[in-house]
């Protein structure tokens, strides 16, 4: 069976994707420098799948190390590139770190891929490239204009998309799939892998589950004066397992479809927008746990509302994110309880 290289494969989305790939029979080699993840994730993947992915503790920005991985696994037919720094706030404080990590690693990876004639890459991008879409572009589809990034993190996603397009233009054998994720949440139903935020969570659902677990006193809802039905911001929350499955579809299309365009871009979302207050209510309904919260001022840089038009992924990839939101929220709580030893 074909081997896929998964960079950042011990991270949140990377680990769930590795599970889905292996369950579909692919061999996987993970490369990760463990800067924001734990080696124990490999055990979680192995416990779910019943076999271990190969693993190399290297930095994707290191040409020699990455080159060695491709030499060790000559059966690699494609790469899914997750490895990146992803904290929006930190990127504002340390822009050069983000430009070096996120852009340096993609450039190095594309160089090594060319060296070894590996011509398929799936890239993790983000709906952040759309900024706040105009009202007539909601739900947002792939043709919506790219807007100036609000953070160095967002800028690295935009620049990386351009780097991929430029390299594909110069090298006609390269095939790329750019996946723009909306807001991934939840954990594997086994609770053997999930999201492991570093320090105080910046993202909404990890903050909710940590509040439910008693680690945080209360959730702060950033603003209830937006131009939305209940005044809180709206996002498209997508189950990480559904998201992982889209990567398998993207890989299959790359390996098997001759009709595809050289660079294809897909939104990965549910097509439904949920407000912050709705998500809290749904979490309480799904788990029976009350979330203490208060309304505070808006968070700088937040977008009022964005949700996906996922039709292109639905039709072209034959994929749909359809796990019910309460099941998704229950999975996140099951994972939080697992890592905190809560019965
Ligand atoms: C953010 C980034 C996005 C990035 C993603 C990855 C921005 C504008 N977007 O998405 O580019 O890909 O993280 O992690 O920075 N909220 C609260 N209280 C909290 C935390 C969040 O009310 O304690 C609200 C936010 O205001 C927002 C919603 O919850 O309306 C979701 O926030 P979050 O989970 O941080 O995701 P995004 O900001 O959408």
Q: Which two tokens stand for residue 213?
A: 């677990």
87 CA: nearest ligand 1 atom: 14
DSSP 235: E
Is cis: bond before 234, omega within 30 of 0? no
**Separation of CA 312 and ligand 1 centre (Å):** 25
| Contact (Cβ atoms closer than 8 angstroms) between residue 305 and residue 233 | yes
Confidence (pLDDT) at 136: 87
Q: Is 160 in the pocket of ligand 1 (CB under 6 A)?
A: no
**Separation of CA 134 and ligand 1 centre (Å):** 19
Pairing of strands 274-275, 234-235: antiparallel
Distance CA 2, CA 78 (A): 9
Closest CA to 106 of 149, 148, 61, 143: 61
Q: Which two tokens stand for residue 211?
A: 């509040």
Distance CA 328, CA 265 (A): 25
Confidence (pLDDT) at 266: 98
* Ligand 1 pocket, mutate which of 157, 203, 298, 328 (most atoms under 8 A from CB): 203
Confidence (pLDDT) at 194: 98
Q: Which two tokens stand for residue 237?
A: 């929350």
153 is catalytic: yes
Distance CA 232, CA 221 (A): 8
Distance CA 319, CA 315 (A): 7
Confidence (pLDDT) at 1: 74
Closest CA to 108 of 83, 73, 76: 83
Q: What is the Cα Rg of the chain in Å? A: 19
For atom 28 of ligand 1, which residue has the closest CA?
A: 204
Confidence (pLDDT) at 206: 98
- Side-chain-side CA neighbours of residue 251 (13 Å): 28
**Separation of CA 233 and ligand 1 centre (Å):** 9
Q: 153, 181, 226, 239: which is the annotated catalytic residue?
A: 153
Q: Which two tokens stand for residue 99?
A: 């430009």
Distance CA 248, CA 262 (A): 18
Distance of CA 140 to the CA centre of its chain: 18
**Separation of CA 11 and ligand 1 centre (Å):** 18
| Contact (Cβ atoms closer than 8 angstroms) between residue 7 and residue 32 | yes
Per-residue pLDDT of the chain in tens (343 residues, 90 and over written 9): 799 999 999 999 999 999 999 999 999 999 999 999 999 999 999 999 999 999 999 999 999 999 999 999 999 999 999 999 999 999 999 999 999 999 999 999 999 999 999 999 999 999 999 999 998 899 999 999 999 999 999 999 999 999 999 999 999 999 999 999 999 999 999 999 999 998 999 999 999 999 999 999 999 999 999 999 999 999 999 999 999 999 999 999 999 988 999 999 999 999 999 999 999 999 999 999 999 999 999 999 899 999 999 999 999 999 999 999 999 999 999 999 999 999 8
H and E: helices and strands count for the chain: 12, 13
Q: Is 293 in the pocket of ligand 1 (CB under 6 A)?
A: no
Strand, coil or helix: 177: strand
Q: Is 86 in the pocket of ligand 1 (CB under 6 A)?
A: yes
| Contact (Cβ atoms closer than 8 angstroms) between residue 303 and residue 154 | no
Distance of CA 137 to the CA centre of its chain: 23
């Amino acid at each position: 069976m074909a081997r896929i290289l998964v960079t950042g494969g011990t991270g949140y989305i990377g680990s769930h994707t590795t599970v889905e790939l292996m369950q579909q029979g692919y061999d996987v080699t993970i490369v990760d420098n463990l800067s924001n993840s734990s080696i124990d994730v490999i055990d979680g993947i192995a416990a779910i799948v019943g076999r271990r992915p190969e693993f190399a503790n290297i930095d994707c920005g290191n040409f020699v190390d990455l080159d060695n991985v491709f030499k060790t696994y000559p059966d690699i037919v494609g790469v899914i590139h997750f490895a990146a720094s992803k904290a929006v706030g930190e990127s504002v404080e340390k822009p050069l770190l983000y430009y070096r990590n996120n852009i340096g690693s993609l450039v190095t990876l594309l160089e090594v891929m060319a060296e070894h004639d590996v011509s398929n890459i799936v890239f993790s991008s983000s709906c952040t490239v759309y900024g706040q879409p105009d009202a007539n572009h909601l739900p947002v589809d792939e043709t919506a204009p790219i807007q100036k990034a609000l953070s160095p993190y967002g800028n690295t996603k935009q620049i990386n998309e351009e780097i991929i397009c430029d390299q594909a233009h110069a090298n006609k054998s390269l095939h790329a799939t750019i996946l723009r994720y909306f807001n991934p949440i939840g954990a594997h139903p086994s609770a053997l892998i999930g999201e492991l935020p570093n320090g105080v969570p910046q993202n909404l659902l990890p903050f909710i589950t940590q509040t439910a677990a008693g680690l945080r006193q209360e959730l702060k809802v950033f603003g209830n004066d937006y131009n939305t039905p209940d005044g809180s911001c709206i996002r498209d929350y997508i189950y990480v397992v559904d998201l992982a499955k889209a990567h398998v579809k993207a890989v299959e299309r790359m390996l098997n479809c001759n009709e595809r365009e050289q660079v294809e871009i897909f939104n990965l979302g549910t097509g439904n927008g949920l407000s912050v207050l709705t998500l809290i209510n749904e979490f309480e309904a799904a788990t029976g746990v009350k979330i203490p919260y208060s309304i505070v001022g808006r968070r700088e840089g937040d977008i009022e509302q964005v949700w996906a038009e996922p039709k292109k992924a639905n039709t072209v990839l034959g994929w749909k994110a359809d796990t019910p939101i309460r099941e998704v929220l229950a999975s996140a709580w099951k994972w939080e309880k697992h890592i905190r030893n809560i019965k």
